[in-house]
Structure 1
Amino acid sequence: MNRIDVVVVGAGPTGLFLASELALRGVRVTVLERLEEPDPTIKSGSLNVASAEILDRRGLLPAAEEVQRRRLAEANAFTGGRTNRIVRELTAAAGRKSRRFAVVGHFAGIMFRHDLIDQDDPVLAAHTAVANGILVPQHDLELLLGEHCARLGVEIRRGVEVRGLRSTGSALDDDADVVVETSAGDFTAGWVAAADGGRSVIRKRLGIDFVGTDPELVGYQAIADFDDPSELRRGWNWTPRGIYTYGPVPGRILVARFAPQPEDKNAPVTAEELQAAVRDVTGVPVTITGLRGRATRWSDNARQVRTYRHGRVFLAGDAAHVHSPFSAQGLNLGLGDAVNLGWKLAAAINGQAPAGLLDTYHSERHPIGAWVLDWTRAQVALMRGDERTAQLRKVVGDELFGVPGATNHMIALSSGILQHYDVADDATAPVGSIAGDVELKSGARLADHAHDGRFILVDRSPDGRYADAVHELADKVAYTADPAADTASLFVRPDGIIAWADVSEDSADNADNARKLLDTAIQRWVG
């Protein structure tokens, strides 16, 4: 079989987006997936703002907005027009010409209150263009990304079970290819990206440590048919036995109870098992008459690999980190891994990577993953059903979340827009942050120039003084002149991270220093 540049194991959102990022840069990539078809099982119900911006930068926001329009219509139909705050806010935002920050989500079941959000907060105001592309369930996202991969010529092999891997040399080092052993034969590749989920075969075969904390709860999620669901309260509800939410689409139930793990964690979830959990937590004697699709069982098992790279094998998404699914952090964390790794691995394959570039995948993403694990652990701690935790939850919900500034900060954290990397020595804001919405005088946005995955230099100097810094790098850097005296010039990486900004006052000395810093950033990240 012909050699492949990269084999991606797993066709979930992380694997598909990573494959598309590689193919965008001319890398030959094959995705191997155990399932015959995309999994329709209900999982994550939405994206955070940082993830929606990833789609925006690759021209996929219109498709995400179409999914959200359909989801809002379904939610309105389910509630008979008596929609919750999230649906009302997003429906209203969709009809506005002026964008607002999309407030979606909760912390430990405590919903973020739209009436307390300061939409003039410059942190939130810099990330508003994707407000109409947030409510994208994981299944819809996989379909969307599958179509994106098809347009880019990515080969997706379904029904292929990965069984192991070996090196063509003495070890999985930088000088040998990797052979992926599967039910469909062997695949030889220069590199392997394991995006095969929390039970990753690749991670286990390599014996990579997966360290963290044991679970305290057992959770279930499904779309079910009930004989009479009228006593199930919509929204998040805490009980002495756990927490549950019903809706916002017909039959959707999520329930989590603090209980020992089942003996067989891999056994399919039956309607009887789900019904017992729902009755136990809610106290409502409902009867489940059927399941639409497959119910899922999960826990708050929180673990992370010590290193995201093992020679020529990278780990991404749930293969690198697992935790409770509250707030859909796993989906968003995986997309962040993919957009960070994709352009770096492609640069290495194309012989264009500066020294040490691939090592920055671990150094940048591992701390973000560790933070997310702590974020989810804190939510589980606040969900316990005892009286003291209920009192603490009331203080957090009523007192802390009742303060507009605190609410803004928690929403910014949950939305992923405060992620930050150390991309330059002694850097000052906004260097290291996500670019967000950058509008240009032409009427276009920075995201419009990012569809092909290149770096972007937005030159806002009055004389176009930075143009010659990239004039020989047109295949790697998109240059746009946008003179603006009160706004900084920006150099943005393919993953949307600002690698340089001219925040100096316009003097000869400062201009020379700014140019030197730009040259340093180009050398460090572009080569």
Structure 2
Amino acid sequence: MRQTDVIVVGAGPTGLFLASELALRGVRVTVLERLEEPDTTIKSGSINVASAEILDRRGLLPAAEEVQRGRLAEATAFTGGRSNRTVRELTDAAGRTSRRFAVIGHFAGIMFRHDLVDQDDPALAAHTAVANGILVPQQDLELLLGEHCARLGVEIRRGVEVRDLRSTGTGLDDDADVVVETSAGDFTASWVVAADGGRSVVRKRLGVDFVGTDPELVGYQAIADFDDASELRRGWNWTPRGIYTYGPMPGRVLVARFAPQPEDKNAPVTLEELQSAVREVTGVPVTITRLRGRATRWSDNARQARIYRHGRVFLAGDAAHVHSPFSAQGLNLGLGDAVNLGWKLAATVNGWAPAGLLDTYHSERHPIGAWVLDWTRAQVALMHGDERTAQLRKVVGDELFAVPGATNRMIALSSGILQHYDVADDACAPVGSIAGDVELESGGRLADHAHDGRFVLVDRSPDGRYADAVRGLADSVAYTADPISDTSQPSLFVRPDGIIAWADDSTDNARKLLDIAIGRWVGA
């Protein structure tokens, strides 16, 4: 029986990033994945700003930027050298990738218009450093994170199917180790994280309720060769039978029709099934000659686990929540779970976690997951092909989204930068928010000091008055002095997941509040 600190079930983006977060802090972690090779099925086509900032804080932004350069080149080639909307939004007049806020994505197929965005909006202007690392498809992200895990020495066991869990004590909700029964024998760990997808074996074995709403539509996504695709319109298109998009990459097609679910949801998608769906929704008699890779079938089934923690077992990613895949919200939500849980679990394994720290994973992430489910449900409601819904879409797209303030708000929500946690009592702004781009007067950025997964204290006081607060905590806190006279840029104490846990409010209580924040999140 093999023993480790943490077992992560599932080697998708959520599982891989979580494993890397644990390994970064010296935790022994084993990833168990049923697939023999990384999944090359076409899935999410990009990540949002909040996810790109997660990569940035771990030094992975250059790799993401390299992926984006390649994807932009493919998109330009697909249009025959002509620029399309996505390329225009992400490049300047000289064809260089932009440092403005990355305006990509849509709501219910209504594309966000970059020309209506107020780039001076402080909410957006604080999150521009990652604009060159947004167009990262899920397949590329998994490869990127797999390489990151390899550098950190994470053990990834592929071709291992998890079958059951049991406790070495009286039950899975006690303090005993957990035994994971697999096709390759038993593995034992102090903690287990289930990141094994919407049909999570672990969640089912735990008996955790998975509650929500039933699906209305059946969707397909694939990269395919067409005999003649000239009549398929680029971008998002609504029809009386559903919604579809063609591009921006060569051969990529996504189609969703409002119809009953197939009898066998697990059956592979055949060329004939995909072709039938494309013809029905688009009204174009296209002929698909070949599937490049495996096509996927999905729905808007929207469900969430009632609890994210069951004793020493946690749920993350699709194992904790499922919904329609529009705007890649599932991928981004899973990365948010991983970065929130990773440092907390590592602190617990390493013995310095404050009391109750692990419980904050559920209290912080469950509300975010519930919000995303409602966000995706609202989009599906706006995608129906009837005349009244079409009229509502016109009002939303042509009137509401034409207002710059409304556009900024929707883009900020979609990008994930407005996520907020209640991390302190009676806290002032920006406490509880994502730090975003924090430029340092002394050079560099806050993200440069977060690569090893520690807390970061940016001390902007002229006399370095906050250094004593973290003396002796160098293993868990990175201290950087950045004296500055501009009081509008306060000193900050930032958690490993990028959440601001304290900000200098220029009052006599500032040091006391910092000590409280350190005690709450770092411990004695």
1:508 to 1:257, Cα distance in 2 relative to 1, 3 A: closer
CA change 1:97–1:335 in 2 (3 A) is closer
Quote how far apart the aligned CAs of 1:83 are. 2.6
Q: Deviations over 1:264-314 (max 9, x none)?
A: 000000000000000000000001111000000000000000000000000
State the percentage of identical aligned residues: 90
**SS at 2:92's partner residue?**
helix
Contact 1:93 1:99 in 2 (8 A): no
Q: CA separation of 1:492/1:93 partners in 2, compared to 1, >3 Å: closer, same or farther?
A: farther
Helix, strand or coil at the partner of 1:478? strand
Q: Distance in 1 between matches of 2:501 and 2:305?
A: 27
1:144 is paired with a residue whose SS is: helix
Sort the Cα spacing of 1:251 and 1:123 in 2 relative to 1 into closer, same or farther, 3 A.
same
> Could you tell me whether the CA contact under 8 Å between 2:91 and 2:98 is conserved in 1?
no
TM-score (norm 2): 0.98
Superposition deviation, residue 89 in structure 1: 1.9
Aligned equivalent of 1:517:
513
Residue of structure 1 in register with 2:45 after alignment:
45
Query: 1:99 deviation in Å?
Result: 1.9
When structure 1 is superposed on structure 2, of 37-46 and 79-88 the one drifting more is: 79-88
Change (3 A) 1:252 1:403: same
- Provide the C-alpha distance between the structure 2 equivalents of 1:83 and 1:171, rounded to a whole number of angstroms: 59
In structure 2, relative to structure 1, the CA distance for the partners of 1:94 and 1:435 (3 Å cut) is farther
1:353 maps to 353
Counterpart Cα distance in 2 of 1:417 and 1:75:
26
Deviation sequence 1:362-403 (CA, Å, 0-9, x none):
000000000000000000000000000000000000000000
How much has 1:174 moved relative to structure 2?
A: 3.8
Q: Which moved more, 1:96-105 or 1:243-252?
A: 96-105
| Matched-pair contact (CA < 8 Å) for 1:17–1:338 | yes
Please report how far the alpha carbon of residue 87 of structure 1 lies from its aligned counterpart in structure 2 after TM superposition: 1.3
1:123 aligned residue: 123
- Which residue of 478, 497, 500 maps to 1:498? 500
Distance change (3 Å), C-alpha of 1:385 and 1:60: same
**1:449 & 1:507 partners in 2: Cα distance?**
24
Structure-1 separation of matches of 2:295 and 2:79: 23
Q: Distance in 2 between matches of 1:217 and 1:389?
A: 16
Deviations 1:247-274 (A, max 9, x none): 0111100000000000000000000000
SS at match of 2:179: strand
1:172 deviation in Å? 0.8
Residue-by-residue CA offset, 1:137-185 (whole Å, 9 max, x unaligned): 0000000000000000000000111111111111013421100010000
Query: Any stretches of 5+ residues in structure 2 without a counterpart?
Result: none
Per-residue deviation, 1:3: 1.4
> Quick check: 1:314 aligned with 2:310?
no
* 1:477 counterpart residue number: 477
Please give the TM-score of this superposition, normalised by the length of structure 1: 0.97
- Kindly provide the CA deviation profile for residues 169-224 of structure 1, in whole angstroms up to 9, marking residues without a partner as x: 11013421100010000001100000000000001111110000000000000001
Given that 2:92 and 2:98 are in contact with CA atoms closer than 8 Å, whether structure 1 keeps it comes out as no
Task: State the shift of 1:485 in Å.
Answer: 2.3
Cα shift at 1:507: 7.0
Contact 1:93 1:132 (8 Å CA) reproduced: no
For the structure 1 residues 286 and 166, does the alpha-carbon distance in structure 2 shift closer, same or farther, using more than 3 Å as the test? same
| 1:425 to 1:312, Cα distance in 2 relative to 1, 3 A | same
Question: Is the 1:94–1:132 Cα contact (8 Å) retained in structure 2?
Answer: no
- For structure 1, which runs of at least 5 residues remain unmatched after alignment? none
Between the aligned partners of 1:416 and 1:443, the Cα distance in structure 2 is 27
Contact 1:173 1:312 in 2 (8 A): yes
CA distance in 1, matches of 2:112, 2:104: 7
Secondary structure of 1:219 counterpart: strand
1:470-507 residue CA offsets vs partner (Å, 9 max, x unmatched): 011111110011111224600000000000000xxx97
Is the 2:90–2:98 contact (alpha carbons within 8 Å) kept by the matching residues of 1? no
* Greater CA drift, 74-83 or 318-327: 74-83
Shift of residue 84, structure 1, vs aligned partner? 1.9
Alpha-carbon separation, structure 1, partners of 2:507 and 2:106:
49
Q: 1:194 maps to what in 2? A: 194
Over the residues paired in the alignment, what is the CA RMSD in angstroms? Answer: 1.2
CA, structure 1 residues 428+216, in 2 after alignment: closer, same or farther (shift >3 Å)? same
Instruction: State the alpha-carbon separation in 1 of the partners of residues 45 and 293 from structure 2.
Output: 15
Alpha carbons of 1:243 and 1:249: their partners in 2 closer, same or farther (altered >3 Å)? same
Residues 91 and 97 in structure 2, CA contact (< 8 A), matched pair in contact too: no
Q: For 1:402, what is the secondary structure of its paired residue?
A: coil
Distance in 1 between residues matched to 2:150 and 2:109, nearest whole Å: 38
Give distance in 2, aligned partners of 1:67 and 1:487: 38
**In 2, Cα distance between equivalents of 1:356 and 1:95:** 50
Mapped partners of 1:95, 1:166: distance in 2 = 56
Instruction: Give the C-alpha shift of residue 98 in structure 1.
Output: 7.1
Give me the whole-angstrom Cα distance separating, in 1, the residues matched to 2:63 and 2:223: 24
1:82, CA displacement in angstroms?
A: 2.2
Q: What secondary structure does 1:244 align onto?
A: strand
* Cα contact 1:225–1:251 (8 A) shared by 2: yes
Q: Is the 8 A contact 2:243 2:255 kept in 1?
A: yes
Distance 1:462 1:152 in 2: 38
With over 3 angstroms needed to count, the CA separation of the structure-2 counterparts of 1:322 and 1:474, relative to structure 1, is same
SS of the equivalent of 2:374 reads helix
CA distance in 2, matches of 1:192, 1:231: 50
**CA–CA separation in structure 2 for the residues paired with 1:270 and 1:432:** 47
Distance of aligned partners of 1:234 and 1:95 in 2 relative to their CA distance in 1, 3 Å threshold = closer
CA distance in 2, matches of 1:341, 1:132: 27
Give the Cα separation in 2 of the matches to 1:231 and 1:30. Answer: 49
- How far apart are residue 88 of structure 1 and its match? 1.6
Residues 296-337 of structure 1 show CA distances to partners (whole Å, capped at 9, x for unaligned) of 000000000000000000000000000000000000000000
SS at the partner of 1:3?
Answer: strand
Q: Does 1:62 align with 2:76?
A: no
Sort the Cα spacing of 1:516 and 1:327 in 2 relative to 1 into closer, same or farther, 3 A: same
Q: Following the alignment from structure 1 to structure 2, what is the Cα–Cα distance between the partners of residues 218 and 137?
A: 22
Q: 1:72 touches 1:91 (CA, 8 Å); kept in 2?
A: no
1:171 and 2:171 equivalent? yes
After TM superposition, give the deviation of residue 508 of structure 1 in Å.
7.5
Residues 220 and 254 of structure 1 are in contact (CA less than 8 Å); yes or no, is this contact kept in structure 2?
yes
When residues 99 and 405 of structure 1 are mapped into structure 2, their CA distance, relative to the original with a 3 A threshold, is: same
Deviates more, 1:144-153 or 1:97-106: 97-106
Q: More displaced, 107-116 or 80-89?
A: 80-89
Partners of 1:91 and 1:271 lie apart in 2 by: 36
Tell me if the contact between 2:98 and 2:132 (Cα under 8 Å) persists in the aligned partners: no
- Preserved CA contact (<8 Å) 1:29 1:154: yes
Distance 2:175 2:367 in 1: 28
Shift of 1:96: 5.5
State whether residues 97 and 132 of structure 2, in contact with CA within 8 Å, keep that contact through their aligned partners in structure 1: no
**In structure 1, the residue corresponding to 2:2 is in which secondary structure?**
coil
Does the CA contact (< 8 Å) of 1:93 and 1:131 recur in 2? no
Confirm or deny: 8 A CA contact 1:93 1:100 kept in the other structure: no
Q: CA deviation at 1:94?
A: 9.1
Q: 1:190 to 1:134 in 2, by over 3 A?
A: same
Q: What is the CA-CA distance between 1:92 and the residue it aligns to?
A: 2.4
Residues 271 and 445 of structure 1: is their aligned pair in 2 closer, same or farther, counting only changes over 3 Å?
same
